Amino acid sequence: MDDEHRTIFQATGELQNALHNDAPLFEVQEILHRLISIVEDHFAHEEKLMRGAHYASFDWHRQQHNTARKRLRRYAPLIEAGDHQAGTELTEFLTGWLEDHTSVTDRMLGAHLRNQERSFIR
């Protein structure tokens, strides 16, 4: 899970740099597509784990994913079309969201999953 977070942080940073350096649009689009697909895969992965573990805070956790999904859906077409400002806003949003989400929400899930593993006593 931590590796997945790292790749999301990295891709967000890449997008930020590309925008900052006025990279060609196709490059920005390539990074954006990659970012969206790793975020979607990561959310799907976590949600599958939560379902499997009958995680009590599933709805709360998924709501936070949905906030990010909504933001990505709204901003992606603008960025695709070359809206620089939208790109900057999205990377700022994602940076803050990721910090909050990984520092609290994902850690709680990690602790839950680890505890569940430890509770299996032969």
> How far is Cα 11 from Cα 50, in angstroms, rounded to an integer?
25
Taking the complex as a whole, the smallest distance from the CB of residue 58 to Fe ion amounts, in Å, to: 11
Count, residues near Fe ion per rule CB under 5 A: 2
Q: Are 49 and 62 in contact (CB under 8 A)?
A: no
Q: Is position 46 an interface residue for Fe ion (rule: CB under 5 A)?
A: yes
> How far is Cα 83 from Cα 28, in angstroms, rounded to an integer?
11
How long a stretch of residues is the chain?
122
In the window 96-115, what residues touch Fe ion (CB under 5 A)? Answer: 106
Structure tokens at 53: 């573990």
Taking the complex as a whole, the smallest distance from the CB of residue 111 to Fe ion amounts, in Å, to: 13
Closer to Fe ion by CB, 25 or 98: give it: 98
Residues that bind Fe ion (CB under 5 A): 46, 106
